[in-house]
Chain A
Amino acid sequence: MSVLPRRLRGRAVIPVAGGFLLLLILVAFAAPLVAPHDPTTGDLMRPAQLPSGQHWLGTDSLGRDVLSRIVYGARVALLAALVAVGVAVVIGLPAGLVLGYRGGWADRIVLRAAEGVNAMPFLLVAITFIAVLGPGLFKSMAVVGVVYAVMVLRLVRGETLAAREELYVTGAVVAGASTARILWRHLLPAVAPSLIVLVTTMFATSIVAEATLSYLGLGTQPPDASWGNMLADAQQTAFAHWFPAIPPGVAILVTVLAFNLLGDGLRDAFAREATGSVLDARPPAVTEPDPSLPDEPSTPDAPDTLVAVRGLSVSFPAPGERGRWVPAVTDVSFDIGRGEVVSLVGESGSGKSVTAMALAGLVPAPAVVEARSITFDGRELAGTDARTMRTLRAGSIGVVFQDPLKALNPAFTVGTQLTEGLRVVHGMSTQDARRAAAEWLDRVRIPDATHRLRQYPHEFSGGMAQRVMIAMALSAEPALLIADEPTTALDVTVQGEILDLLRELQEQTGMSLLIITHDQGVVADLAERVLVMYAGELVERGRVADVLTGPRHPYTAGLIASVPRNRRRTGPLPRVRGVVPAAGRWGEGCRFHDRCPFALPACATGTVALHTLDGGASRCLRTGDDLALADPAVWR
C-alpha cells in the first residue's frame, strides 16, 4: 500500500476529480444551509422562469427554485449511490473472497447464477424486484445494490482465484496460516486495487441508476427532488420551456464524469498500462561520433562481413518519469561474417536481447535505437526508415524467439502463420505456399507435415513449436538468422535436438547465425565466435575456443567459473560476488569493478576502452597484466 503515493504523483486528474466530489459531498451534506430556497414549495405565480438574480438556475413548471432542487438532488443521488455501493460491497466482497479461495461446487453454482443475473438486462432485474418490494428510493437502491453485489462478487472471486495461485499464498499455507489470515492479510490486499476502481465507477453508475429509476417513477417520489424526477418534470413542459431540462442533466453528467475520471486515475495508478508496441518500432537513427569516447578500432573482426555494427546504443524511457531515459545498451560494435555462427552471451540486464532486436528493428517503441553505423550486406541501416527495416525482415533477416508457444499466434493454424510471409511478402499462390510450408516442416523434421499445418499452436509440444518457429524464420531463406535464447524454454533433452537442427540448417544454407544465450554450454556447442556483454556493453569478444578456455576479461572468467559442472565436487562452489547492477545504474568506471576480484582504484573512474587483442578484445584496464583469471580460488 505504501507504493501508492509514489504512483499517485503527477496525476492531476485524481486531486481534481476527487476535489470536486468532496465539494459535492460537502454541498449535499449542508443542503439546508446552501440551498437558497425551499426545494419542495414553489411560487406558482412564477413558473418556468429563466435564470435570474433571484433564481440562478430559474424555476420549474411549479415555480420551485431549480438550484435548490439540484442541491437537494445531490443529497439524494449521493445517498442513493452510497446505499447501492454499500450493499454491493457488504454482500459481494466477503462472498467473492470465500468462493474464490474455497472453490468447489458452491463456487460453480453461485458463479452460474451470477452470470445469469449479469446477463439479464439490469433495469429489468431491478424493476422485477421493485415489483416485489414496491417503489421507493431506498428500496430501489438496495435492489440496485444487490445486482451490483453480483458484479462485485464476480470481480472479487476472479481476482481471488488468480491471487490464490500466487506463490506467496502457497507460502502462507505451508507456514500454517489460517484461512481467515490468508483472506485478510494476503488475498484482500491483492483484490483491493481493482475493487477500489470498480467501486468508484459503481458510484457513477449508481447515480445514473438512481436518476433512471426516479425518472421512471420507481425511485424518489415527488415532491422530493431527485435529478431523475426533475428531468421527468422538465420533459412534461420541455417543448415550451426547454431550460429546466438542462441543469439536472449537467449535474448528472459532471458527477458521473468526476467519478469515472477518479476511477480511471486510480486504475492507471495501480497498474501502469504498457503502451509502447513493436508495431511502432523505430529504425536506428544515426549518431555522430562522440569525441569524448575513446577512438574505437573500426577494422572488421570477421573476414567476409555481412553485418557491421558500430556504436549501437538503445535507451528506454524511465518508467513513470517523463523525459528521463534509461540506457539499456551503450556503444556496442561488432561484426558478423557471412556463414558465421556468432554467439552473444550475457546475464539478465546485459542488453544482449535488445542488441539483437535492434539489428532486426524490433525494439518496441518508444525505445530509441541509435548507432554510428549499421551495415547489412553493404547497405547502411543507420538513419533508414521503417519500411526498409521491414523489407529486410521480410527477406534477409529471420528471427527465432525464446518461448515458441507464446511466439505463435494461438488463434490461427500453424499453416496460416507459416504461409503468411510466403504469400503476402513473396507473392506465392496459396497452394504453392502450402506446399513450401509442408516442405519446410519436413526439413525441420516434423512428421506428418500436411496434417500438422491444419493444427493450432497449442496442439504442439514446446520442442515441436520451436521447430515451427525455425521453419517460419527460414522459409524466406534469410542471410542472417537471429535466435534469441532458442532453447531456454525447452527441456534439456529437447535442447540438444534443436541445437542440432540449427547447426544442420546453418550448414545446409550457409546463412549467418547470431545466437543469443545466457548458457555457456550453448556457446560451446554451436558458435565459432562469442561476444560477451555485461551491464549494457560489450566486455569481451573472441573465438569461442579461446574465450571459453582462456577468458581475458575478469567477468567472463567469473561467469565460466560459476557454471555448475557435472564433476565431483572439491571445496566451495566458485561464484561472482555482488549483484548485477540495474539498467542505467552502472556508476563511474568499469561497470564490473565492484564485483571484480582484480579491481584497482583506477577501475572506479573514467570509462574503460575495449582493448584489441589478437583475434579478440577485452574491456579491462588490466588487459596485459598477468592475472590468475582461471584460478578457482579467486572466485570463492
Chain B
Amino acid sequence: MNPPVDPLLSVEDVHVRFARRRRGFWRPRTWHTALSEVSLTIGAGQTVGLVGESGSGKSTLARVVLGLQPRDQGQVRLRGEEVDLTRPDTTRAFRRAVQAVFQDPYGSLNPTMTVATILDEPMRIAGELSTRDRQDRVRELAELVGLTADQLDRYPYQFSGGQRQRIAIARALAPAPDLVVLDEPVSALDVSIQSQVIDLLERIQATTGVSYLFIAHDLAVVRHISHRIAVMYRGRIVEEGKADQVCDEPSHPYTRLLLASALDADPTTSARRRERRRGLARAFADEFGAHT
C-alpha cells in the first residue's frame, strides 16, 4: 500500500516559541514553546495525517508548512530545496506549490466575491494562464467538486457548509499545487457530509497525485484518509508511522489514551471501553502528570 515515495516536503527540527504577555511592566518575558524538535516528511502523492488536541501545536505546524509562521530554528524543504521566503523567485514557486483548506467553511471564502472570482484568484496571482484558459479551468474545477455552472455566479452565503468546503477545496486546487494543507477540513461539518468531502479529496488525489497534510483531532477520521499518521502532544511529535500501525498498535501512551478516548457508537462495548480508557488515563497521568 505504501510504495517508497520521494519526499515532497520536509520539516526538519523546527522550533517555534511565542512570547507570553508580560504579567507586569517590570517582569521578564516568559515564553511558550509551541513546537519543539518537530520533523516530518510528506511524500509525493501521499497523505500524512496530523493528530492532536487543542494546544498540541498542530495548527502552528500547519502555519510553518504554509510559510506563515516564522521559525526560531529548523528548516522547511520543498523537493529537497530549502524554502526561503525572502527571495521572490522561490516564494513564487512555493506559493503555487502549497495551498490550504481551513476548518471554518464560513470564514474561508471572501463574502464579497462570486465563486468564479474566488476560484480564479489563485490562477490570476500565479499569472501563468490566459484569461480564456483560466475560465476553462474554473469550469473544470467546479465540475470536479460537483458545482453546476450557474452556481459559479453566486456568493458564498448562498451555499451550505459542505458546499462551501467543496468551493474551498476547488480554490486550493486551482493553481495545480503539489501539496494541500487541510486544517481540520471536516470538523465543522455534519457527520453525513464528512464522508462526502473525504471521498472527494481521495478522488482528487487519485487523479492528480497531489499530496495532503490532513490535520484533525479525530484519529478515526484521519486513519481513513492517511497513509501515515503523526501524533502531536505539547508541541512535539510523539509518534509517527503507517496509519494502520499507529491506530492498531500505538506505541506512545498518549496515542493509546487518545485512541481509547474516542467514543464508539456501539453501546454493547461502551462499558468495557470506558474501563480501558480510565486505566490508560491513570497510567498516562502517572507518567506525564495530570492531563487537564
- A residues apposed to B, CB below 8 Å: 1-3, 166-168, 170-178, 181, 185-186, 189-190, 347-348, 461-464, 491-497, 500, 518-525, 544-545, 548-549, 558-560, 562-566, 568-569, 572-577, 579-580, 582
CB-nearest residue of chain A relative to B105?
A: A167
Is A461 a contact of B292 with CB atoms below 8 Å? yes
Among candidates A175, A525, A564, residue contacting B99 with C-beta atoms closer than 8 Å: A175
- CB distance A579 to B53 under 8 Å? no
Q: Separation in Å of the B162 CB from the closest CB of chain A?
A: 6
| A3–B192 CB distance below 8 A | no
Q: A167-B107, A549-B268, A572-B199 are in contact. Are A493 and B224 (CB under 8 A)?
A: no
Would A189 and B110 be within 8 Å (CB), given that A347-B192, A493-B258, A569-B223 are in contact? yes
Question: Which B residues contact A (CB, under 8 angstroms)?
Answer: 53-54, 66-68, 91-92, 95-96, 98-100, 102, 104, 107-113, 121-122, 125-126, 155, 157, 160-163, 168, 171, 175, 190-196, 198-199, 217-221, 223-224, 244, 247-248, 257-259, 261-268, 270, 274, 277-278, 281, 291-292
A566 engages B262 (CB within 8 Å): yes
Query: Smallest CB–CB gap between A404 and chain B, Å?
Result: 13
> Do A172 and B121 have beta carbons less than 8 Å apart?
yes
**How far is B162's CA from A559's CA once the two chains are assembled, in angstroms?**
16
Q: Is the CB of B191 within 8 A of A524?
A: no
Contact A559 B191 (CB under 8 A): yes
- List residues of chain A with CB within 8 A of the CB of B125: 172, 175-178, 181
Provide the bound-state CA to CA distance between A366 and B234, in Å: 45
B254 to chain A, nearest CB (A): 9
User: Taking CB as reference atom, which chain A residue is nearest B96?
Assistant: A176
Taken together as a complex, chains A and B put the C-alpha atoms of A617 and B55 apart, in Å, by: 43
Residues of A within 8 A of B291 (CB): 493-494
Report yes or no: A167 in contact with B195, Cβ–Cβ below 8 A.
no
B192 and A518 form a contact (CB under 8 A)? no
| Assembled-state Cα–Cα distance A582/B109 (Å) | 20
Q: A176-B125, A461-B292, A580-B192 are in contact. Are A545 and B199 (CB under 8 A)?
A: no
Extra 20 A-B pairs, beta carbons < 8 Å, given A174-B66, A462-B54, A493-B53? A1-B112, A175-B95, A175-B99, A175-B121, A175-B126, A176-B95, A491-B217, A492-B218, A492-B262, A493-B292, A495-B261, A497-B281, A519-B263, A523-B267, A545-B268, A548-B267, A559-B192, A564-B223, A575-B192, A579-B193
CA distance A566 to B194 in the complex (A): 15
**Chain B, Cβ-Cβ closest to A447:** B290
A545: B residues at CB distance < 8 A: 267-268
- Neighbour of A463 across the interface among B223, B263, B292, CB < 8 A: B292
**With the chains together, A98 CA to B52 CA distance in Å?**
36
Q: How far is the CB of B111 from chain A (nearest CB, A)?
A: 8
Number of A-B residue pairs, CB cutoff 8 Å, is 183
CA–CA, A168 to B224, complex, Å? 28
Pair B163/A524 contact, Cβ less than 8 Å: no
B199 x A575 contact (CB < 8 A): yes
The answer to whether A495 touches B191, judged by C-beta atoms less than 8 angstroms apart, is no
**Contact, CB under 8 Å: A524 / B193:** no
A-B residue pairs in contact (CB < 8 Å), sample of 22:
A166-B107, A167-B104, A168-B109, A170-B102, A171-B168, A172-B110, A172-B125, A173-B68, A177-B121, A177-B125, A492-B261, A493-B291, A500-B274, A523-B265, A524-B264, A545-B267, A559-B191, A568-B248, A569-B223, A576-B192, A579-B162, A580-B190
Q: Do B160 and A573 touch (CB < 8 A)?
A: no
Taking CB atoms, residues of chain B closer than 8 Å to A582 are 160
Residues of B within 8 A of A170 (CB): 68, 100, 102
Q: Which chain A residue lies CB-closest to B95?
A: A176
Also in contact, A186 and B162, with CB within 8 A (given A175-B125, A496-B274): no
Contacts of B95 in A (CB 8 A): 174-176
Are B292's CB and A521's CB within 8 A? Answer: no
Distance in Å: Cβ of B50 to nearest Cβ of chain A = 15
Give chain A residues whose Cβ lies under 8 Å from the Cβ of B92: 176
Q: Which of B104, B122, B258 has the most CB of A within 10 A?
A: B122
B55 nearest CB neighbor, chain A only: A491
Q: A170-B68, A170-B102 are in contact. Are A562 and B191 (CB under 8 A)?
A: yes
Contacts of B96 on A, CB cut-off 8 Å? 176
Please provide the 8 A-B residue pairs with the shortest distance between their CB atoms, ordered closest to farther: A521-B263, A176-B95, A575-B195, A520-B265, A576-B192, A167-B108, A175-B122, A347-B190
A524 to B: closest C-beta gap in Å:
4
Q: In the complex, what distance in Å separates the CA atom of A518 from the CA atom of B92?
A: 43
- Bound together, the chains give a CA A492 to CA B221 distance in angstroms of 13
Nearest A residue to B110 via CB reads A168
Asked if A493 and B267 sit within 8 Å, CB to CB, the answer is no
Q: CB-CB < 8 A to A491: which residues of B?
A: 53-54, 217
> Are B192 and A494 interface neighbours, CB within 8 A?
no
Complex interface: chain B residues within 8 A of A566 (CB): 219-220, 223, 247, 259, 262, 264
A171 touches B102 (CB 8 A): yes
Q: Which residue of chain B has the shortest Cβ distance to A523 in the bound complex?
A: B265
What A residues does B171 contact at CB under 8 A? Answer: 171, 175
* C-alpha spacing A558/B104, complex, angstroms: 25
Kindly state the separation between the CA atoms of A169 and B108 in the bound complex, as whole angstroms: 8
Contact between B99 and A174 (Cβ–Cβ < 8 Å)?
A: yes
Find chain B residues with CB under 8 A from A462 CB: 54
| Cβ-defined contact, A171 with B261, below 8 A | no
C-alpha gap A180/B191 in the complex (Å): 40
Nearest-CB distance from B143 to chain A (Å)? 18
Which of B108, B122, B190 lies in contact with A518, CB distance below 8 A?
B190
- Contact of B265 with A521 in the complex, beta carbons under 8 Å: yes
Per the bound structure, the CA–CA distance linking A495 and B278 in Å amounts to 12
- Chain B residue at minimum C-beta to C-beta distance from A503: B274
Q: How far is the CA of A185 from the CA of B112 in the complex (A)?
A: 9
For the complex, give the distance between the alpha carbons of A572 and B200 in Å: 11
Shortest B266–chain A CB gap in Å is 6
Cβ A573 vs Cβ B292 within 8 A = no
Chain B residue, CB-CB nearest to A165:
B107
Q: Which residues of B contact A563 (CB under 8 A)?
A: 191, 265
Q: Out of B102, B244, B278, which one reaches A167, CB within 8 Å?
A: B102
| A565 contacts B264, C-beta separation under 8 Å | yes
Complex CA–CA separation, A1 to B111 (angstroms) = 9
Name the distance in Å between B51's Cβ and chain A's nearest Cβ: 10
Residues of A within 8 A of B265 (CB): 520-521, 523-524, 548, 560, 563, 565
A1: chain B residues within 8 A (beta carbon): 112
Closest to A349 in B: B190
Distance in Å from the Cβ of B170 to the closest Cβ of chain A? 12
Cα distance, A189 to B156, chains bound together (Å):
15
From B126, B220, B281, A564 is in contact (CB under 8 Å) with B220
Known contacts A177-B121, A493-B53, A573-B195; A524 and B102 CB within 8 A of each other: no
The one of A168, A172, A549, A568 in contact with B244, judged by C-beta atoms closer than 8 angstroms, is A568
With a cutoff of 8 Å between Cβ atoms, the chain B residues found around residue A3 in the complex are 111, 155, 157
Q: Is the CB of B220 within 8 A of A565?
A: yes
- The residue in chain A whose Cβ has the minimal distance to the Cβ of B260 is A496
Residues of B within 8 A of A522 (CB): 263
Q: What is the bound-complex CA distance between A519 and B257, given in angstroms?
A: 19
Which residues from A are CB-within-8-Å of B257? 493
- Picked from B163, B191, B193, B292, the residue with its CB within 8 Å of the CB of A464 is B292
